[in-house]
Amino acid sequence: MHNKHTRCARPSQLGILIGLAVGTFGSPSAALSQAPEPTRSQALLGAVEAESLERWHDLVAERPHMAGTPGDLAVIQHLVESFEAMGLEVERHPVRTWIAKPVSARLAIAAPTPIELSIQEPALDNDPDTSDPALLIGWNAYSGSGAVEAEVVYANYGRLEDFEKLLELGVDCTGKIIIARYGGNFRGYKAKFAEAAGAAGLIIYTDPADSGWGKGLSWPEGVWSGEESIQRGSIMTLPYAGDPLSPMVEAKPGAEFLDPGSVELPNIPVQPIGWASAAQILSRMGGESVSGNWQGGLPFRYRLEGGPELRVQLEVVQERFFADTANVIGILRGSEEPERMVLVGSHHDAWGCGASDPTSGLITVLEAARILSQEVRAQGPFRRSIAFAGWGAEEFGIIGSTEWVEADLDRARHKIVAYMNLDGAAGGVQLSASASPSLQSLIAEIAGELPQPGSNNESALDNWRARGTHPGFDALPRFGDLGGGSDHVGFLALGGVPCVGFNGGGSPGTAYHTNYDTRAWYRSAVGSDYAAAKLIAGGAILFAARLADAAVLPLDIERTAPEVLRHLRNLTRRGRALGLFKESERPIDLGLARAEAAALQYGERATELAQRVRAAGQDPELDATTRESLNETLMQLDRAWLAAEGLPDRPWFQNLFAAPDESSGYSSWMLPALRRAIEDLDVRALAREETRLLTVIARLNQGLDELDRALQ
């Protein structure tokens, strides 16, 4: 089973990339796509150049390029020109969206002694990028505008449980300025909970325990945050991604936008600061001591309240406006199934220079485009199209990618084979991924072909697996669950597209969303050898080529059932922990047991059919009708999870398999409608959602029927 085919120049058989060998790792079920001739993969990977990645980095990260600014338009133009120079079909997709910009802000202690507090990082002598005049003050996009003077209350991480704790302790937030530290949730929820608690304003700061001396030496001596590092970021928390005024509608010039007043954007002023400024406030607080885990790293005991002596002034002025930006998509058009598209992307907008976030990922998209366009020029087109995307305005609310999905839902639901998201992906050489079940085996197979930087014989897969194997499936490395927070969200939630967040990590340090996220920081923290970016670009290249060229799509139908079972069992545990089963042990146990039984049964059928699909894929005589029928069905299986009515209270999120956590934003809820019912201890909703899950499994079974028919 390790036949190597001789290279064949016929363009429609870029089967040069796809041999008949079994996969790199042991399980036969994992050999979904046929592995390439090693020399061919190696040649593609060998074409990736550190110098080229460094040039892309200089092109994009040289200047601040926040969405809606001249720097943004310059980057868009660079992307258009770069893709054109590669000979790609270029789509410059315009986006008109309701974003914000800072006008002015001020933070000061008014009493007992007036002190003005810094709200912007100073320029650093050794890094000219930090003195760019286009760099802005620290700000949180979509903050309310206003000036308040008030007492302060410390709210730890500003999570739901932190505000609940304050309530329990009798600490009144009404009319106060909340000061909370970054971490523990999406910053937007800190603002949402503060406003809900009646606060007059919110200050968010970076605590040295979490990102500074608690972790390591500060930039520029080390690679961690310094006392004036300020994390910027959006605080929008709407029950949908994308432009805030056009859910489900493409945000473009002339679109029907909602009235801004009808959308729940923050009303109170919100200001991010560094810990030097925060310490000025926190050290002057006079109330009760916090309890244990609320203490941060500043050198005094934290307190819950400032008391009446300490008065803080916070003034934030922002302008909300329609900005024009764009997604840029470069397409290598396929020859056989040109409408079907494998998509690899990263956003291009950044809060400052964004050398790490997003540009360390965007340069791998550009490099993958460069290598694969060379390949196509030399060997002819792939079977299917490959698209390389730079998304706009992600930082404000995953806007560009979402609008592209909303612009053509049919494309997302029927034409996009898979999406690989590479937002800031090259942060180190330890590969990991969060992936839809149907992509896990392919990603592992690709990782097995990527040499681990700095090792002799180890693959990136070896390194990844050594850090932990997948729960319940030792043959795979540990995959994460897809959460929120980046450009896969629209594809997954609205399109049912198989998605993977591909990521290199392991380098210590952070300059996240600060004015210090520059090439100098990146080259010091992650490396000037671009080994991490080479690794990620290589993975993107193999991913795109494999999915674009395989006769039968290497989408794994076997992984879904075990993943559903795993999530069901986690939900059962969660329900038990919440005491849900105390009142009604029997019906709910039976309920989840029904879903488990259905998933198990589906899994058995899927395993049997998967073997036949693989055999068909390896059959050189496979007829075109069968192949097309198999591919069409394989494409649609992930879409079985879409439900037009969406999630409870979040109808925009239509994927019943995964969604972002409702109250933290970044992490994931798996089987989110069931999860919501369990969190609510709502037995009736649980029964309803279990029925919806059984409906999904029934659709999945129909898919198997179709595969079965096609193979007969």
The minimum distance between CB 467 and its own copies, in angstroms, equals 17
Q: How many CB atoms lie within 10 A of CB 161?
A: 14
The minimum distance between CB 157 and its own copies, in angstroms, equals 18
Can you tell me the distance from the alpha carbon of 66 to that of 659, in angstroms, rounded to the nearest whole number?
27
The minimum distance between CB 153 and its own copies, in angstroms, equals 18
Cα–Cα nearest to 570, from 684, 435, 697, 668: 668
Does 283 bind its own copies (CB under 8 A)? Our answer is no
Can you tell me the distance from the alpha carbon of 30 to that of 457, in angstroms, rounded to the nearest whole number?
22
**Contacting its own copies (CB under 8 A), which of 122, 128, 214, 308?**
214
Of the listed pieces 294-302, 392-400, 581-589, 703-711, which binds its own copies according to CB under 8 A? Answer: 294-302
Does 218 bind its own copies (CB under 8 A)? Our answer is yes
The minimum distance between CB 645 and its own copies, in angstroms, equals 47
DSSP helix/strand/coil, 234: strand
Can you tell me the distance from the alpha carbon of 137 to that of 125, in angstroms, rounded to the nearest whole number?
18
Cα–Cα nearest to 91, from 333, 377, 368, 350: 333
**Contacting its own copies (CB under 8 A), which of 298, 393, 420, 693?**
298
Does 626 bind its own copies (CB under 8 A)? Our answer is no
Site size toward its own copies (CB under 8 A) is: 19
Of the listed pieces 295-303, 331-339, 370-378, 490-498, which binds its own copies according to CB under 8 A? Answer: 295-303
Cα–Cα nearest to 273, from 403, 181, 365, 407: 181
Cα–Cα nearest to 180, from 163, 161, 162, 155: 155
Closer residue to its own copies, CB minimum distance, 214 or 587 = 214
Closer residue to its own copies, CB minimum distance, 87 or 308 = 308
The minimum distance between CB 352 and its own copies, in angstroms, equals 24
Does 208 bind its own copies (CB under 8 A)? Our answer is yes
The minimum distance between CB 295 and its own copies, in angstroms, equals 6
Cα–Cα nearest to 157, from 209, 107, 200, 116: 209
**Contacting its own copies (CB under 8 A), which of 11, 216, 380, 665?**
216
Closer residue to its own copies, CB minimum distance, 245 or 282 = 282
In this structure, what DSSP letter does residue 514 have?
S
Can you tell me the distance from the alpha carbon of 349 to that of 393, in angstroms, rounded to the nearest whole number?
6
**Contacting its own copies (CB under 8 A), which of 131, 289, 601, 695?**
289
The minimum distance between CB 213 and its own copies, in angstroms, equals 4
| Subset of residues 223 to 242 that bind its own copies, contact rule: CB under 8 A | 224
**Contacting its own copies (CB under 8 A), which of 74, 213, 320, 529?**
213
Closer residue to its own copies, CB minimum distance, 193 or 219 = 219
Of the listed pieces 206-214, 317-325, 477-485, 651-659, which binds its own copies according to CB under 8 A? Answer: 206-214
Cis omega (within 30 of 0) for bond into 11: no
Tokens 């992490």 sit at which residue? 667
Long-range contacts of 646-651 (CB under 8 A, 24+ apart): 647/672, 647/673, 647/676, 648/673, 648/676, 648/677, 648/685, 649/239, 649/676, 650/239, 650/240, 651/239
What is the phi/psi pair of residue 643, to 5°? -130, 120
The minimum distance between CB 307 and its own copies, in angstroms, equals 13
The whole-angstrom distance between residue 33's C-alpha and the CA centroid of its chain comes to 25
Closer residue to its own copies, CB minimum distance, 295 or 667 = 295
Give the ranges where 618-682 is alpha helix by DSSP (H).
Answer: 624-637, 672-679
Of the listed pieces 75-83, 175-183, 212-220, 402-410, which binds its own copies according to CB under 8 A? Answer: 212-220
Closer residue to its own copies, CB minimum distance, 253 or 292 = 292
Helix (H) or strand (E) holding 469: strand 469-470
Dihedral angle sign, alpha carbons of residues 344, 348, 350, 352: positive
Does 220 bind its own copies (CB under 8 A)? Our answer is no
Closer residue to its own copies, CB minimum distance, 352 or 509 = 509
* DSSP track, 566-585: HHHHHHHHHHHHTTHHHH-H
Closer residue to its own copies, CB minimum distance, 222 or 651 = 222
The minimum distance between CB 511 and its own copies, in angstroms, equals 16
Can you tell me the distance from the alpha carbon of 377 to that of 364, in angstroms, rounded to the nearest whole number?
20
Can you tell me the distance from the alpha carbon of 503 to that of 516, in angstroms, rounded to the nearest whole number?
21
Cα–Cα nearest to 205, from 298, 131, 143, 128: 298
Can you tell me the distance from the alpha carbon of 259 to that of 253, in angstroms, rounded to the nearest whole number?
15
Does 295 bind its own copies (CB under 8 A)? Our answer is yes
Of the listed pieces 122-130, 288-296, 455-463, 542-550, which binds its own copies according to CB under 8 A? Answer: 288-296
Residues 435-474: x where in contact with its own copies by CB under 8 A, - otherwise, as a string: ----------------------------------------
Closer residue to its own copies, CB minimum distance, 291 or 584 = 291
Of the listed pieces 292-300, 373-381, 469-477, 566-574, which binds its own copies according to CB under 8 A? Answer: 292-300
| Subset of residues 470 to 499 that bind its own copies, contact rule: CB under 8 A | none
Closer residue to its own copies, CB minimum distance, 118 or 335 = 118
The minimum distance between CB 302 and its own copies, in angstroms, equals 8
The minimum distance between CB 509 and its own copies, in angstroms, equals 11
Structure tokens at 638: 């992930």
Does 222 bind its own copies (CB under 8 A)? Our answer is yes
Structure tokens at 564: 């559903």
Does 301 bind its own copies (CB under 8 A)? Our answer is yes
From its phi and psi, is residue 130 left (phi > 0), alpha (psi between -120 and 50) or beta? alpha
Can you tell me the distance from the alpha carbon of 505 to that of 507, in angstroms, rounded to the nearest whole number?
6
Burial of residue 679 (number of CB atoms within 10 Å: 0-12, 13-18, 19+): middle
HEC profile of 524-564? HHCCCCCHHHHHHHHHHHHHHHHHHHCCCCCCCCCCHHHHH
Does 691 bind its own copies (CB under 8 A)? Our answer is no
Can you tell me the distance from the alpha carbon of 542 to that of 553, in angstroms, rounded to the nearest whole number?
14
Does 285 bind its own copies (CB under 8 A)? Our answer is no
Does 294 bind its own copies (CB under 8 A)? Our answer is no
Structure tokens at 275: 């810990």
Show Cβ contacts of residue 566 under 8 Å, excluding neighbours closer than 6 positions: 471, 472
Give the CA distances from residue 389 to residues 137, 363, 370, 454, 554, in Å, rounded to whole numbers and listed in that order.
29, 11, 13, 30, 22
Q: How many CB atoms lie within 10 A of CB 455?
A: 12
Of the listed pieces 189-197, 255-263, 287-295, 563-571, which binds its own copies according to CB under 8 A? Answer: 287-295
Does 299 bind its own copies (CB under 8 A)? Our answer is yes
Of the listed pieces 161-169, 205-213, 380-388, 453-461, which binds its own copies according to CB under 8 A? Answer: 205-213
The minimum distance between CB 207 and its own copies, in angstroms, equals 11
Give the CA radius of gyration of the chain: 26
Does 297 bind its own copies (CB under 8 A)? Our answer is yes
Closer residue to its own copies, CB minimum distance, 139 or 224 = 224
The minimum distance between CB 154 and its own copies, in angstroms, equals 14
The minimum distance between CB 474 and its own copies, in angstroms, equals 22
Does 309 bind its own copies (CB under 8 A)? Our answer is no
Does 293 bind its own copies (CB under 8 A)? Our answer is no
Does 217 bind its own copies (CB under 8 A)? Our answer is yes
The minimum distance between CB 521 and its own copies, in angstroms, equals 17
Binding residues vs its own copies (CB under 8 A): 208, 212-218, 222, 224, 289, 292, 295, 297-302
